[in-house]
Every structure is written in C-alpha cells, then in structure tokens.
Amino acid sequence: MPQKELSNQEKSLYYPRQQYLDLLRRNISHRKHTLLLAPRGMGKSMLVRQFFEAEKKDKSAALNRTFVYLDLARVSISPENFTQEFIGSVAHAVQRAKDTELLKYQDIDFLLQQNISADVKEILASIRNELQKIKPDQRLILTQAFACAEQLAKGYNKQLVIALDDAEELLGFDNYPQIRDSVQLFADATKKSSSVSYLLVSSFTSVMRKRFSQTLEVITLEALSAKETHQLAEKIVGKMDERVAVQLHHWCAGIPSVTVALAEKLVQAHINVKDVVSVQKIREVFAQEIASPESQIYRYAKEEFFIALTHARGASLLKSIVRVVALHDNLRLTEIARKVYRSGPVTKSLLDRLGEVDLIKKVNSTFEFHSPIVKNWCKTTAVC
C-alpha cells in the first residue's frame, strides 16, 4: 500500500517535530537502520509521512532516493505473502509505477518480464522456484526478499529508504519453525546493505527495544511538552490562556492524538479557551469524553488496554493486578501482592508480563500505568 500524502487539513494541523526529523535524516544519511518507537497515537506514522515528504522536497537529497512505506498490519504476514508484497512494493517504487499497478507488481512472473538486472532476475527466479514447492524454505525466501531490495536499488542506482510500520508483526515469523528468530534473520539479511536503509516503526516499545536494540539505532518519540501541547492545540482552538493549556496538557499527557481529539471537542462545545475560568471546563469535558464509548479518547484508551492485555501471557490472571494499579497510586510490590492475595514472586512475574506489553511500568520501587489516559479510563469504566 503506497503511503498517502498528507491532506491539506492534516498539513495545516501538523505540529512539526523537528528534532525527530533531524534524527531520522542523520540516521538515513549515515545508512543506519533505525527503530522508531513510541506508544500508540504518539505520531510515529505521521512523523514518517512528514519525513518522507520533507526529504522528497529536498532536491539535493531526493535526487537518487526512493521511499517505500509498508504497513505490516495490512500485509498478510506469512513469509510467502510478505516476500511477494515486499518485493512488489520495492519494485513498484523504484520503477515509479502508478498506484493502481501495485497489485501487478506483487506477481513474481510479472516482475520477471520487466526490464531488470540479471542479478535481480536470478533472485526472483529462485524465490519463484521455492514458492512452487509444497514446503518452501521460508527462511530462504525472506532472506532473498531483503537481498532483492538491495539489488533492485543498485540496479536503478538508487538509495532506498524502506519504512516498515507496525514492525512488531515481523516477530510473528518466529512462529515458523524454519525461521524461529526473525530478529537475527533480519539482522543477517540487512547488515551489509549499502543501498537500502530500513526504518522500523512500532508501538510495542518494550519487546521491540529488547529484541532489536543490538541491531538497530533506536529513536524514541517522546510525549509533547506542555509548550508543544499548547502550540498544537492552538492550531485547532485558536489562542489559549496559558493556564487552560497547562490543564489540557495535564489531561492529555502530551499524546498528540488525545490532544487533537480533546481540542476538537472543546471547539464543538464552544469552550472559551482564552478565559482562565475554562480550566475547570477542560476537566469536565475530558471526564465526559473518557466515559463515553463513542468518543475518540475512550476508543483510544480501550484499544491501548485490550491490545496490551491480548498480547500479555495469561491475560485473565492479570486483570486483578491491573485493577489494583488503576485504583491506587504508587503501590509497592508487597502492597499489590497483599491486595491480590498472591505471593510476592507470583505478583512480580505478573507485573513483569504487564511490563513486557507496555501497560504497567516500575517507577523507582512502585508500579504505575505507562499511560495516564489508560489508567484514567480503567478507573472510569471499571473495566477490570
């Protein structure tokens, strides 16, 4: 799926995060493979789109660069399908084909008829050969998919920047017995690439950092500061009183998607954000939103919560812990253990699992939610 350009409305609301654009630019120009991490809604995908657009406009940098964006959450993630969609997207991009032709490019026979180098043809022929077997060697075809991108770039004398969004999907390859270690496979297949830079993007911050930090340069996209929240919100609501903006930042925790959603709600509710008396109103509107199933903030928190719990091992056991941490602030391990009637070591292992999926974190010696929005939602809805 080619990346959609930012619409005019998105451009007018976009709050530039220059320091991250600079970091991405530095990594790419040094041909370093990068892992961009941040919780959901923090603006990773928008940042990548913005980065690509800015780079395309920079004529000196863009001259021989090609940008490819693949959202792995939308790609069928068996090794066979990934290989075809990945190679197809890369070939489609280097040949600057029309968007409507993307599907054709995912057919290896079609690619073999194209005017491409003998090296690429050789790789494609061996992949096709493998795919025709009853049991293709999945490790081989994935390795060759990455090699093919490198050769395609070389053949067209391009530097390729390939963004793989929702890159945690790659870890799903570990379930295939011939692969087992997708991270090692990716590292081996891409470590010598001189014409392709990879940009992996994910909201599964703990597991991805743990698995990839040896091989990739990690960039963590942080929450907006109070000043940044103020500036972003003003694009939507117009001039704001400083104290009202501080209150907005407090409730939205610097998360751009939540900030945009609440700011839009303030406009709809005709809240006078220039007047300091509205400080109280922000709290009321936020409280309403987080309790209304049809609101964006409710959906955001619910999704965060369920995605985390679905990925945590032994989900049902964990709910009692989550509940305790939602209803109390700054509890220590022994206090949580007492409240859930479990031993210290059992409770610790449960808390570790909630840490692996970025729901709960340890701050000094107490436990807290990663996201205050999700904590607030759990409290409000008593979901757990």
**Interaction site with ligand ATP (CB under 6 A):** 13-15, 17, 38, 40-46, 203, 232, 256-257, 260
Q: How far is CA 123 from CA 104, 148, 268, 275, in A?
A: 18, 6, 56, 65
Q: Which of residues 26-45 bind Mg ion (CB under 5 A)?
A: 45
Residue closer to Mg ion by CB (options 45, 376) is 45
Least Å distance between CB 165 and Mg ion?
6
Residue closer to ligand ATP by CB (options 83, 257) is 257
Residue nearest to ligand ATP according to CB distances in the complex: 43
83 within 8 A of 136, measured Cβ to Cβ: no
106 near Mg ion, rule: CB under 5 A: no
Least Å distance between CB 242 and ligand ATP?
20
Going by DSSP bridges, is the β-strand pair 366-369/331-332 parallel, antiparallel, or unpaired?
Answer: antiparallel
Least Å distance between CB 254 and ligand ATP?
11
Residue closer to ligand ATP by CB (options 6, 315) is 6
Least Å distance between CB 43 and ligand ATP?
3
Residues in contact with Mg ion, shown as a per-residue x/- string from 42 to 71 under the rule CB under 5 A = ---x--------------------------
Q: Is 290 helix (H, G, I), strand (E, B) or coil?
A: helix
Residue closer to Mg ion by CB (options 44, 230) is 44
d(CA 193, CA 65): 15
Q: Is 274 helix (H, G, I), strand (E, B) or coil?
A: coil
Residue closer to Mg ion by CB (options 45, 83) is 45
Residue with tokens 């939610």: 369
- Return the one option of Mg ion, ligand ATP, none that residue 91 interacts with (CB less than 5 to 8 A, by type): none
Alpha helices in 14-76 (DSSP H): 18-29, 44-57, 59-62
Please report, as a single letter, which amino acid is at residue 215. Answer: T
Phi and psi of 228, rounded to 5°? Answer: -65, -40
Residue nearest to Mg ion according to CB distances in the complex: 45
Least Å distance between CB 224 and ligand ATP?
8
Least Å distance between CB 50 and ligand ATP?
7
Rg value, the chain, Cα: 23
Least Å distance between CB 230 and ligand ATP?
13
Q: What is the dihedral of CA 123, 129, 134, 137, to 10 degrees?
A: -20
Residue closer to Mg ion by CB (options 45, 50) is 45
197 near Mg ion, rule: CB under 5 A: no
Residue closer to Mg ion by CB (options 45, 151) is 45
- DSSP structure class, residue 41: T
- Order of all β-strands in the sheet with 159-165: 65-71, 159-165, 196-202, 34-37, 217-220
What secondary structure, in 3-state letters, does 123-181 show?
HHHHHHHHHCCCCCCHHHHHHHHHHHHHHHHHHCCCEEEEEEECHHHHHHHHHCCCCCC
Determine the size of the site formed for Mg ion (CB under 5 A).
1
- Return the one option of ligand ATP, Mg ion, none that residue 86 interacts with (CB less than 5 to 8 A, by type): none
Least Å distance between CB 45 and Mg ion?
3
Residue closer to Mg ion by CB (options 3, 27) is 3
Binding site for Mg ion (CB under 5 A): 45
